[in-house]
């Protein structure tokens, strides 16, 4: 069941109607069953894996909470990290590293045959693994304590709006909402409708209509593409992945809000960022903040000197790239962003040394910084989307050296104007207002008119083929 399918909204209608007539305890049981039904609609074969990992993590969290001996707590924490990362590693990374090791060994003269498992990747495993691991780390650091009931912990693990692609919720935020009675205000409904309509519009009207053009360009031999076509593919994918993933996150927020849950914002106009660190504070916020709090800071963060800070930035972004997928283009994409963070940090340190960092940038200067960073981010997305580093390199080179225009380029240009430009204007309005929910505070008839138009657009601009959300594959 995809968020943009009739099946999901029929499923959710049943859940929300039943939910309204139940007390809080039975609401949680209903949501637990709904989570497993929703997850099994994608692939029921991986339900036992989800159940087993939930039971194991709950037992480990109870041991962590009850134990006062430091050595025992360290061993249990290490075991929990090994279990969660081990399961993730087997399903997501074993074949990749096995093939690469065998390839290197054969290159050096050895004669090895790869022993791969060929396992399918359980949907959502990258997200719920980090969420459970963060929970155990919070228990270890006494930021939270496990609930007395395993079913409440299981709901934290498989809350259906977020299990497939996040946001990756913290135990300190989501678990108290699971354990406490939930009330829904009129403003919650208004906010929920904004998230749901915004998310569906971003996914169905924008992302899914950009997808066919992007797929054509990236499935073509880059040597057969003109330079403008290569650039069109790069920039259209830059917006496709944003509309697609932010659309999912908005719908997840809206669905959760209708049930009385506050789910964190995962995107806050990231393409208006002027520095890489600001970009990661606005893009996939639940992942970047998780990496910051549970990896970057424990590594030392920026507390151990300039060289160690730059090293920690590089390591964390390399792991962010690898988290997205077991392929070299994701590794290089992570390294690319690590280099951006390092380069901007060095420039910042150089500016501080020259006493120029305190000078506020002009409006034109800040727009130029946003423009430069946006183009660098787009180059990163070219690496991310390409099937190989070679494909990305050829497309970037042709984009910089070939200027012949084609019908496909003009079609891409028109599509960008139709699907991208209006959303840029809308987000610029939100960005300048400083209020992420400014539209949900408009008069009811203004909201009703816009939502009516969005509904019409959802029917008129039906894509040729509705694709699954991009981040489901990670």
pLDDT for the residue numbered 415: 94
Q: What is the distance between the alpha carbons of residues 371 and 267, in angstroms, rounded to a whole number?
A: 19
The length of the chain, given as a count of residues = 474
Are 287 and 351 found together in one domain? Answer: yes
13 assigned to some structural domain: no
Is 16 among the domain residues?
A: no
Q: Is the pLDDT of residue 70 over 80?
A: yes
324 is catalytic: yes
Average pLDDT of 434-440? 93
Regarding whether 216 and 156 lie in a shared domain, the answer is no
The verdict on residue 2 lying in a domain is no
pLDDT of 375 above 90:
yes
Same domain, 127 and 212: no
In percent, the amount of the chain with pLDDT more than 90 equals 73
Whose structure tokens read 């074993």? Answer: 94
Q: Which of 195, 250, 284, 324 is catalytic?
A: 324
On the question of pLDDT at 352 being above 80, the answer is no
47 close to 124: Cβ distance less than 8 angstroms: no
Are both 157 and 301 inside the same structural domain?
A: no
The predicted structure's pLDDT at residue 184: 87
Q: What range defines the domain where residue 62 resides? A: 21-182
Residues with Cβ within 8 Å of residue 19, at least 6 apart in sequence: 27, 30, 31, 259
Which pLDDT score, from 0 to 100, does residue 349 have?
79
For CA atoms 394, 400, 405, 411, the dihedral sign is positive
Q: Note whether 212 and 171 are same-domain residues.
A: no
Is 284 inside any structural domain?
Answer: yes
My answer on whether 160 and 38 are in the same domain is yes
Residue at a domain's end among 182, 204, 237? 182
Q: Is pLDDT of 359 > 60? A: no
- The answer on 176 and 195 residing in a single domain is no
Query: What pLDDT was estimated at residue 360?
Result: 59
What's the rounded Cα separation, in Å, for the pair 387 and 233? 13
Asked whether the predicted pLDDT for residue 356 surpasses 60, the reply is no
Distance CA 42, CA 369 (A): 42
Which pLDDT value is given to residue 373? Answer: 97
Count of structural domains within the chain: 2
Q: With respect to residue 232, please indicate whether it lies within any of the assigned structural domains.
A: yes
At 105, the pLDDT band (50, 70, 90 cuts) reads confident
Same domain assignment for residues 360 and 454 = yes
Q: Which residues contact 321 (CB under 8 A, 6 or more apart)?
A: 330, 331, 332, 333, 334, 335, 337
Between 468 and 61, the higher pLDDT residue = 61
* Final residue of a structural domain among 149, 182, 215: 182
448 and 338 within one domain: yes
Q: Report how many helices (DSSP H) and strands (DSSP E) the chain contains, helices first.
A: 20, 0
DSSP H helices, 201-294, are 208-219, 227-258, 276-280, 285-291
Cα separations in angstroms, 236 against 225, 226, 243: 15, 15, 10
What is the spatial distance between Cα 97 and Cα 112, in angstroms, rounded to a whole number? 14
Residues 98 and 216 in one domain: no
Out of 53-62, 307-316, 347-356, least confident range: 347-356
| Same domain for 224 and 132 | no
Specify which of 23-27, 41-45, 219-223 reaches the highest per-range mean pLDDT.
219-223
pLDDT of 407 > 80? The answer is yes
Looking at residue 353, what is its pLDDT? Answer: 65
Q: What contacts 326, CB < 8 A, 6 or more positions away? A: 92, 93, 95, 96, 97
pLDDT tens digits, 266-323: 999 999 999 999 999 999 999 999 999 999 999 888 888 888 888 999 999 999 999 9
Pick from 230-234, 265-269, 461-465: least confident = 461-465
Which pTM value belongs to this model?
Answer: 0.94
281 lies in a domain?
yes
Is 321 within the bounds of a domain? yes
R_g over Cα of the chain: 23
Predicted pLDDT of residue 103: 87
- The pLDDT, as a whole number, for residue 112 is 75
CA distance 18 to 10: 12
Percent of the chain with pLDDT over 70: 97
Give yes or no for residue 433 having a pLDDT over 90. Answer: yes
pLDDT band, very low/low/confident/very high, at 426 (cuts 50, 70, 90): very high
Mean pLDDT of 367-395: 96
Q: Does one domain contain both 295 and 387?
A: yes
Mean pLDDT of the chain: 91
Is the pLDDT at 446 greater than 70, yes or no? Answer: yes
Domain boundary among 182, 197, 219: 182
Question: Does any domain span residue 38?
Answer: yes
**Alpha-carbon separation of residue 473 from 83, 126, 206, 379, 467 (angstroms):** 22, 9, 20, 21, 12
Q: What b/e readout covers 296-326, taking b as 16+ CB neighbours within 10 angstroms?
A: beeeebeeeeeeebbbbbbebbbbbbbbbbb
d(CA 444, CA 202) in angstroms, rounded, equals 22
Q: Dihedral of CA 438/441/446/449: which sign?
A: positive
pLDDT score, position 358? 53
Task: Give me the pLDDT at residue 466, please.
Answer: 60
């Amino acid at each position: 069941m995809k968020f943009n399918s009739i099946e999901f909204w029929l499923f959710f209608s049943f859940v929300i109607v039943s939910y309204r007539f139940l007390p809080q305890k039975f609401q949680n049981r209903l949501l637990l069953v709904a989570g497993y039904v929703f997850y099994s609609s994608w692939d029921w074969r991986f339900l036992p894996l989800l159940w087993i990992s939930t039971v194991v993590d709950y037992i480990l969290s109870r041991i962590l909470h009850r134990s006062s001996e430091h050595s025992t707590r360290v061993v249990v924490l290490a075991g929990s990290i090994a279990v969660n990362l081990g399961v993730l590693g087997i399903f997501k990374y074993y074949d990749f590293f096995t093939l690469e090791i065998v390839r290197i060994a054969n290159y050096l003269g050895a004669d090895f045959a790869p022993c791969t498992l060929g396992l399918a990747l359980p949907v959502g495993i990258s997200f719920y693994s980090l969420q459970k691991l963060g929970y155990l780390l919070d228990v270890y650091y006494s930021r939270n304590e496990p609930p007395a009931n395993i079913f409440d912990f299981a709901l934290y693990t498989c809350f259906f709006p977020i299990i497939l692609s996040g946001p990756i919720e913290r135990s300190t935020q989501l678990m108290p909402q699971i354990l406490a009675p939930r009330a829904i205000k009129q403003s919650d409904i208004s906010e929920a409708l904004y998230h749901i309509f915004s998310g569906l519009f971003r996914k169905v009207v924008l992302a899914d209509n950009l997808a066919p053009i992007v797929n054509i360009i990236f499935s073509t031999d880059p040597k057969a593409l003109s330079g403008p076509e290569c650039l069109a593919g790069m920039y259209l994918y830059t917006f496709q992945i944003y509309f697609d993933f932010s659309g999912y996150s908005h719908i997840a927020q809206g669905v959760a809000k209708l049930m009385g849950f506050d789910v964190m914002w995962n995107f806050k106009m990231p393409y208006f960022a002027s520095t890489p660190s600001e970009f990661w504070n606005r893009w996939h916020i639940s992942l970047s903040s998780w990496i910051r709090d549970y990896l970057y800071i424990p590594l030392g963060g920026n507390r151990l000197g300039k060289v160690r800070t730059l090293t920690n930035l590089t390591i964390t972004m390399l792991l962010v790239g690898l988290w997205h997928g077991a392929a070299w283009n994701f590794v290089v994409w992570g390294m690319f962003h690590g280099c951006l963070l390092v380069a901007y940090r060095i420039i910042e340190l150089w500016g501080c040394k020259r006493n120029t960092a305190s000078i506020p940038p002009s409006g034109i200067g800040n727009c130029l910084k946003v423009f430069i960073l946006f183009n660098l981010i787009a180059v990163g997305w070219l690496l991310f989307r390409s099937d190989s580093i070679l494909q990305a390199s050829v497309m970037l080179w042709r984009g910089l050296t070939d200027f012949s225009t084609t019908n496909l380029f003009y079609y891409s240009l028109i599509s960008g104007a139709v699907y991208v430009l209006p959303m840029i204007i809308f987000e610029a309005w939100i960005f300048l207002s400083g209020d992420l929910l400014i539209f949900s505070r408009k008069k009811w008839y203004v909201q009703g008119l816009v939502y009516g138009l969005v509904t019409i657009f959802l029917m008129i601009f039906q894509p040729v083929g509705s694709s699954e959300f991009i981040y489901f594959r990670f």
